[in-house]
């Protein structure tokens, strides 16, 4: 009987301890979100103001998702709420956060270093805000990240090679910012990367070479406004528009992308000649080199690949498929 009582006492003590710990964890998460709320200076629809009440469990707040045991916050989605404010370092105290979506608001300022504590984060969408500064080096410690979008902000500086430490990254959106310099080759080490968007920045130089560090595993590549359907296999569609970047020539290595069906490198300040290696792209169905500065006597000779395209046209005609081939050269 005494032993049974002892077991009961120990069990009760453990249960009580777990309840106390769970309550403490939620208090930590609530404090982090209250700090976040206090950094919001405009909430035109009163979504956060009315729904984030300390009188209720944080798990019942709009945009907040807790785990099945309601012990920790695992997701925060406040996208498209018209909010204005800054991101406080206390946000990093949501240490069990897996998904963070703050896109399409008006948050401004730098990303605080406190966010480096979000080590479980796999999804982070901060697109369509007014965030500034450089990509922080601490982003490289978030090694569970699979999706990162900083699209359409005002980030500056170079794209850090430290992002290559996010080895599980599958989708990276950095377009519509003010990044400059060269795309680091180290980003090509992101072996899981399937989707990359870098367009409408101030990237300069021989940036096209970067493509061939990722040719074997990336499925969607956008260096401008292009969006392509994800397909299984190697890269099939490539669209590049880099009108704000420095001049480049088409690298010979483009001939390695032998699964390409559509190639558009328009309005990208291209110079030099079209490499013969394009003739290796026997799957091509659409080509567009319009609005560039391709020059020199080698231009005509480099068009030996047209024979390949004519063969493709003949095959497509027999298969009764639509044909789109646009080649505009301005000399």
CB atoms within 10 A of CB 63: 17
Which of residues 63 and 251 earns the better pLDDT score? 63
pLDDT band at 211 (very low <50, low <70, confident <90, very high): low
In a domain, 152, yes or no: no
DSSP 108-174: EEPPPGGGGG-TT--EEE--SSEEEEEPPGGGGG-TT--EEE--SSEEEEPPPGGGGG-TT--EEE-
- 9-13, 79-83, 175-179, 242-246: segment of lowest average pLDDT: 9-13
In a domain, 238, yes or no: yes
pLDDT score, position 230: 30
CATH number, position 305: 3.80.10
In a domain, 279, yes or no: yes
- Structural domain total, the chain: 1
pLDDT score, position 40: 97
CA–CA separation, 326 and 297 (whole Å): 21
In a domain, 283, yes or no: yes
> How do residues 29-77 score in pLDDT, each as one tens digit?
999 999 999 999 999 999 999 999 989 999 999 999 999 887 899 999 9
In a domain, 21, yes or no: no
Q: Which domain holds residue 260?
A: 224-331
Strands 84-85 and 40-42: antiparallel
In a domain, 315, yes or no: yes
Sheet containing 64-66, strands listed edge to edge, beginning at the edge strand earlier in sequence: 64-66, 73-77, 99-101, 123-125, 147-149, 171-173, 195-197, 220-222, 237-240, 262-265, 286-288
pLDDT score, position 319: 55
In a domain, 186, yes or no: no
> How do residues 255-303 score in pLDDT, each as one tens digit?
777 777 777 777 667 777 777 777 788 787 777 777 777 765 444 444 4
In a domain, 258, yes or no: yes
> How do residues 148-180 score in pLDDT, each as one tens digit?
999 999 999 988 777 878 889 988 999 899 998
């Amino acid at each position: 009987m005494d032993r049974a009582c002892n077991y009961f006492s120990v069990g009760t003590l453990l249960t009580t301890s777990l309840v106390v710990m769970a309550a403490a964890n939620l208090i930590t998460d609530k404090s982090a979100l209250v700090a976040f709320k206090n950094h919001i200076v405009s909430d035109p629809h009163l979504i956060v103001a009315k729904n984030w009440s300390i009188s209720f469990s944080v798990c019942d707040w709009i945009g907040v998702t807790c785990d099945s045991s309601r012990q920790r916050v695992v997701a925060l989605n406040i996208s498209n709420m018209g909010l204005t404010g800054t991101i406080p370092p206390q946000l990093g105290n949501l240490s069990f956060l897996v998904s963070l979506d703050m896109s399409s608001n008006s948050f401004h300022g730098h990303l605080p270093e406190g966010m480096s504590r979000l080590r479980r984060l796999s999804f982070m969408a901060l697109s369509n805000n007014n965030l500034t500064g450089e990509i922080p080096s601490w982003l490289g410690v978030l090694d569970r990240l699979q999706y990162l979008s900083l699209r359409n902000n005002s980030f500056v500086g170079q794209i850090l090679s430290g992002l290559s430490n996010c080895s599980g990254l599958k989708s990276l959106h950095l377009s519509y910012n003010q990044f400059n310099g060269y795309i680091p080759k180290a980003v090509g080490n992101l072996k899981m990367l399937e989707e990359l968007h870098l367009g409408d920045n101030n990237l300069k130089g021989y940036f096209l070479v970067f493509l061939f560090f990722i040719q074997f595993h990336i499925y969607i590549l956008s260096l401008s406004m292009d969006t392509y359907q994800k397909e299984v296999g190697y890269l099939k569609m490539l669209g590049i528009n880099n009108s704000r970047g420095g001049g480049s020539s088409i690298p010979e290595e483009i001939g390695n992308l032998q699964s390409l069906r559509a190639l558009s490198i328009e309005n990208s300040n291209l110079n030099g000649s079209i490499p013969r290696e394009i003739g290796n792209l026997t799957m091509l169905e659409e080509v567009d080199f319009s609005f560039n500065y391709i020059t020199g006597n080698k231009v005509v000779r480099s068009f030996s690949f047209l024979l390949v395209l004519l063969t493709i046209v003949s095959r497509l005609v027999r298969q009764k498929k639509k044909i789109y081939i646009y080649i505009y050269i301005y000399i």
